[in-house]
Amino acid sequence: MFTLISTETKPVTPELALQFRDMEASPTERDLDPRRVNHLKEKAIAGMLVSFNWATAQLGNRTLRMNGRHSSTMLTELNGEFPENAIAHIDAYKVDNEEGLALLFRQFDDRKSGRQPIDVSGAYQGLYEPLRGINKQLTKRGVEAVAWWRKQIEKAPAPSGDDVYSLMGETGLHDFLRWLPTIFNVKTKEMEVTAVVAAMYATYNASTTGAHEFWSAVARNGISYDDNAPATVLDEWLKKLATKVPANADLISTVGAAQYYQGCIYAWNAYRKNMSLHDIRHDTTKGYLKIIN
């Protein structure tokens, strides 16, 4: 087991960072990941650091570093750009044995308590009144789809990683994000693919009224008694891609994100031209289809 014996808050100086970096490490500590160090360094340079939470453990007559390896290493590598007013909360524990070290290690960044993408997305969503109260998972998927569309289809800059969710600050996206939950339900899981939602976004921009009609039909299993309606054919195609059985293996193997998007736009264009379809064409070797308004 482990016992907390003291806690203190200290200004972080280069000397303290060096002391913590060079402290004897607990055998339970994670390997040093240069990518994580660089990530923290970028945050430091951008002025986005928060207080550090460091910890030690006393095992017999040894004092071991339990938490803070990456941040203390990062701080010693800043080369004159040491952050002003940096603070560390340092907890000191006593453990009975090495098993206590492992148990204590598990309390830091507990997997069930760690920040997940849906938590970050939800934090941004909560900032904007028009987005409050709508399905968080669909809102998250919506902004991810917008970012994918901008990068892959428009070849335009778009944020990545957790920064993607800052797109919720674009008021021009709010109507689209509020529309998504009106289309999806528990029976439309085959449509919850980022590239499909990207196609929904592209068609929504082309014709809001048309997108309402077309995607509502896709979500309702297509057009009743019309097996060749574009919405019906697209619905069947998406369901095949979502059903991993041997009969669908060849199709699934040929369809990635780009092909999902292309197939959706192919069906949309047929719908806009009032055409019937027999299948979905999704090849992208000649580029992406131009959307018909």
Q: What is the mean pLDDT of residues 270-293?
A: 96
pLDDT number for residue 241: 96
In whole angstroms, give the CA distance from residue 255 to residue 284: 10
Q: What percent of the chain has pLDDT over 90?
A: 84
pLDDT higher than 70, residue 239: yes
Residue 36 structural domain:
2-105
Q: What is the mean pLDDT of residues 34-53?
A: 93
Residues contacting 153, CB < 8 A, separation 6+: 198, 202, 261, 288
- pLDDT confidence band for 92 (50 / 70 / 90): very high
Whether residues 97 and 181 share a domain: the answer is: no
Question: Number of structural domains, the chain?
Answer: 2
pLDDT number for residue 111: 65
pLDDT higher than 90, residue 142: yes
- pLDDT confidence band for 113 (50 / 70 / 90): low
pLDDT number for residue 201: 98
- pLDDT confidence band for 154 (50 / 70 / 90): very high
| Chain segment 57-80, per-residue pLDDT in tens | 999 999 999 999 999 999 999 987
Q: What is the mean pLDDT of residues 262-270?
A: 98
292 in a structural domain:
no
Residues contacting 88, CB < 8 A, separation 6+: 9, 10, 12, 16, 20, 51, 52, 53, 54, 68
26 in a structural domain:
yes
> Across the strands, what pairs with 92?
6, 56
Whether residues 143 and 80 share a domain: the answer is: no
Q: What is the mean pLDDT of residues 237-242?
A: 96
Whether residues 156 and 228 share a domain: the answer is: yes
pLDDT number for residue 146: 98
pTM: 0.75
138 in a structural domain:
yes
pLDDT number for residue 64: 95
Mean pLDDT of the chain: 94
Whether residues 149 and 236 share a domain: the answer is: yes
Whether residues 263 and 144 share a domain: the answer is: yes
User: Cβ distance 186 to 194 under 8 Å?
Assistant: no
pLDDT number for residue 221: 93
pLDDT higher than 80, residue 269: yes
114 in a structural domain:
no
Q: What is the mean pLDDT of residues 146-166?
A: 95
113 in a structural domain:
no
pLDDT higher than 80, residue 102: yes
User: Cβ distance 23 to 54 under 8 Å?
Assistant: no
pLDDT number for residue 119: 87
Is 233 strand, coil or helix?
Answer: helix
In whole angstroms, give the CA distance from residue 169 to residue 173: 8
Q: What percent of the chain has pLDDT over 70?
A: 98
CATH number for the domain spanning 72: value is 3.90.1530
